[in-house]
Amino acid sequence: MKFLTILLLKFLFFYNSLTAETIPTKSNIIKQSNECFKGSQNQVCKELVYEIEKLQLVVFDQNRFKCQSSLLGLQSAIIEAYFLKNFSNERISFMIPFVIKNC
Per the structure, the complete domain to which residue 67 belongs is given by 23-102
Whether residue 27 lies inside any domain: the answer is yes
Q: What is the DSSP string of 8-67?
A: HHHHHHHHHHHHTSPPPPHHHHHHHHHHHHHTT-HHHHHHHHHHHHHHHHHHHHTT-HHH
At 43-90, the pLDDT tens digits run 888 888 889 999 989 999 999 999 999 999 999 888 887 777 766 666
pLDDT tier for residue 24 given thresholds of 50, 70 and 90: confident
Q: What domain count does the chain have?
A: 1
Whole-model pTM: value is 0.70
Whether residue 52 lies inside any domain: the answer is yes
User: Within 13 Å, how many C-alpha atoms sit on residue 16's CB side?
Assistant: 6
Whether residue 8 lies inside any domain: the answer is no
> How many Å apart are CA 13 and CA 8, to the nearest integer?
9
Whether residue 7 lies inside any domain: the answer is no
Whether residue 89 lies inside any domain: the answer is yes
Whether residue 14 lies inside any domain: the answer is no
